[in-house]
Structure 1
Amino acid sequence: MNSDLEDGSFQAVFLLLVLALLLLMGFLHVDIELLTPSEVERLPVTNIMFLKTHKTASSTVLNILYRFTETHNLSAALPAGPSLHLGYPWLFLTRYVEGSMKADSLHQHFNIMGNHLRFNAPEVQKVMAPDTFYFSILRDPALQLESAFYYYKSAAPAFRRAPSLDAFLAEPRRYYQGQGSVHDVYARNSMWFDFGFDPDAPAEDGYVRARLAEVESRFQLVLIAEYFDESMVLLRRRLRWRLDDVVYFQLNARGGRGPARLGPRGRARARRWCALDWRLYQHFNRTFWAQLRAELGPSRLRAEVARLRARQRELAGLCLQDGAPQNKTQIQDPGLRPYQSGQAHILGYNLRQDLDNATRLLCRRMVMPELQYMAHLYARQFPEKPPKVMPFLKG
């Protein structure tokens, strides 16, 4: 019997020793891993250049970047002086960025760049670090042109001369005079133009393929506006960010009451007229889905999108007084009223009145319109400079 007890005791002690050894190995593994390059590689990406294309849900993306900039105390490449953009529609130059030159005549590097600009790689590289992550976003050019027509109706001569979008698309060259007017860049292949290319170039296969290769060589990721949640899932994965870093409320959206949407014939005409944008969109729509399939797979992608949407609903319930975007006349805080342009009716948000200070700050950042947020970051980053003036807020 004593032998049996001794054997049992020995087994118990042996098991305890094995467990202790496994736990010790686990602790050692964690401690060692914290010092390895693999752990360092999992730190969030903080050097980011976003090419903000027009009327592609890019204002919502920029809000995400601005929030990350502020909460992590990063620097942003912001428009110099009173300007509200980085030289658009001219090709970007470093002098369009406030504080781009150091005292020793070297260029200042910034963490985040995302304001409207026309891409010019050599100049952008002067103000962004070598390890910068470059990305952009595209939208079906038929939908993008429709949104641009109403938003830039007063600014683009081609749109201003046309009685309707259908009339414009039936005879676009009757109204469009090429790049003779800088504001007509909105009227044809504007996403192609934003990438720094000629919007009036013939859509010849060799030329298009060469330009697409240029974009692929510079931009690690191109998102698709029609699949915005899937885009945020992939972006979060690439940037190694937290879920709350990419949760969003849609900004700069056009209200539902407006001119009739394009029908199938109008959409086909828009894609022919903007053939370069259509080729750009088709190519990167394919690469976008190929990357999603390779990195996530259908079931995991659905789960990640569901997590994002659940958190978004939770924050909407926490933050928003009305639960949905509102017409400009219904927005109580003047500082949260978005800029209105052309025939578009841009929606905004009201915050709940019972929020504590910390929650109000979080929620306010999520609903702050693009121009106001840019001015806020500018005042925070350059307190010695005169603040940005927003004339549309005085009305």
Structure 2
Amino acid sequence: MLLMLVVASCLTFVTRLVYFSTVNGGWSDVFPQPWLSLAMSQRERSLEKPCRPKTHLFFLKTHKTASSTVLNIMYRFGEARNLTLALPVAYQFGYPQLFDTRTVKSYNATNKQEYHIICNHMRFYKPQVEKLMPNDTFYFSILRSPVTWMESSFAYYKDTARAFSNVTSLEQFLEDPWSHYSPTSSGSHYARNCMWFDFGFDHNEGDTPAYVDSVIGKIANTFHLILIAEYFDQSMVLLQEALCWDLDDVLSFKLNPRGNGTVVPLSATTADQIRAWNSLDWKLYLHFNRTFWQKVDLYGRQRMSEKVVLLQEARQKMRDLCLERGRPVDPSQILDKTIIPFQYGRARIQGYNLNTNLTPATRERCLRMILPELHYKDLLDAKAHPPAGPREHPPW
């Protein structure tokens, strides 16, 4: 019995020592500060200090990474709590130029307004972001395997990226990419290392260990959490835990899915060529995929599995409640033509039909979950910046 008490006391001491060292900046290489909320359960955190939902949020919306679904989560969270969102003048913050506060609608540099949430497409530039966001802002983003990313990017940007314009297939492009690609051509970032580019770095820089380590270090020191698209549900659990939100706050339907007819299977050879061509993105993905699973281990694998089941069950209940036939449909089959997702490139972007027997309140909740990002941005824009006078009817 005495031995058991001694062991228990030692374990308690070690646990408190790790916690003390973490929150005071010690052992930063082993337990970086952003991991703290993921290393401790909500109950454990509540014993140390009250767990309050985070409302100062920066989400770097990378391209073709399931980021539109995350954007919808941010929009719904902010709208439900009447938070202030920084919205772009158009639909992106001056992309592909580096972010500048002048692209934020109604931002006044003299009367500097602090925002709760910023989450639309941008090319990240921290000094300008910090002009908008307070010091306690939680920074996060999402990555996707460059292999599936490039297959999607080719379908979506076939007519936008000049590198893709003269080839009939992704395989043809990858056989000799430099005969089609120019670093200075229009949309070149859509054809190579786009995630690296979105984080604000040169997507054509030489792939050297020193450069890669430097960039990854800068990203790791800025962003508290990097989600992984292939493990979306696990990502949502980590995000919910890190932000001290309820599980319902990260509930979502997949937005902007492509119809199966536009998804092209890739051979092992093509996949290897994609990794080589997008080597900066591949190394970025490998690093943060590894640290992602380290965070899952800190959270607890069994605990994660149980939470993912709860999330999936809750999503299925909402799917049954909200969605006709419970699945996305081709844009031609969407009954409400005002909420058809924006169609771009050669992809067929699917959307949803709502069940017709919903109460008004339930319908509004369901509608927010399927609302395409451009439509949702316009809705939030109209609420935040209502017209000064009565709207004029168009002459037609």
Q: Scaled by the length of structure 2, what TM-score is found?
A: 0.85
CA–CA distance in 1 between the matches of 2:389 and 2:351? 27
- Comparing 376-385 with 113-122, greater Cα deviation is found at 376-385
1:89 to 90, 96, 102: 96
Deviation, structure 1 residue 41: 4.1
Asked if 1:201 corresponds to 2:205, the answer is: yes
Distance 1:203 1:380, change over 3 A: same
1:37 Cα shift? 9.2
Matched, 1:101 2:105: no
Match of 2:34 in 1: none
Contact conserved, 1:100 with 1:109, CA < 8 A, in 2? no
Q: Deviations over 1:266-285 (max 9, x none)?
A: 11100100000000000000
Q: Structure 2: which 5+ runs fail to align?
A: 1-44, 391-396
Alignment of 1:45-194 (within 5 A): 45-80=54-89, 83-101=90-108, 105-181=110-186, 183-194=187-198
Q: Aligned residue for 2:238?
A: 234
* Paired positions, count: 346
Superimposed CA distance per residue, residues 291-325 of structure 1 (whole angstroms, 9 cap, x where no aligned partner): 11012x11111100000000000000000012100
Q: CA deviation at 1:206?
A: 0.4
In structure 2, distance between residues paired with 1:316 and 1:350: 11
For 1:26, the equivalent position in structure 2 comes to none
Q: Does 1:292 align with 2:296?
A: yes
User: Is 1:358 the equivalent of 2:361?
Assistant: yes
Is the aligned partner of 1:311 residue 2:314?
A: yes
Describe the SS at the equivalent of 2:165.
helix
Question: Residue by residue, what CA displacement relative to the aligned partner does 1:10-39 show, whole Å, maximum 9, x if unpaired?
Answer: xxxxxxxxxxxxxxxxxxxxxxxxxx9968
Cα separation, 2, equivalents of 1:386 and 1:146: 47
Distance 1:155 1:332 in 2: 29
SS in 2 for 1:349: coil
Cα deviation for residue 384 of structure 1 reads 3.0
Alignment counterpart, residue 255 of structure 2, candidates 234, 251, 263: 251
Q: Which residue identity is paired with 1:286?
A: R
| Inter-partner Cα distance in structure 1 for 2:216 and 2:264 | 33
Farther off after superposition, 251-260 or 219-228: 251-260
Taking only the aligned residue pairs, the percentage that are identical comes to 47
**CA distance 1:149–1:222, change in 2 (3 Å):** same
C-alpha distance in 2 between matches for 1:386 and 1:143: 48
| Structure 1 residue aligned with 2:284 | 280
Contact 1:379–1:385 under 8 Å retained in 2 = no
**Shift of the alpha carbon at 1:260?**
2.5
> Within 1, Cα distance between the matches of 2:259 and 2:338?
19
Shift of the alpha carbon at 1:179? 2.8
- Distance in 2 (CA, whole Å) between partners of 1:241 and 1:132 is 15
Question: Given residue 265 of structure 1, which amino acid in structure 2 is its aligned partner?
Answer: T
| Unaligned segments of structure 1, at least 5 residues | 1-35, 388-395
Q: 1:130 to 1:37 in 2, by over 3 A?
A: farther
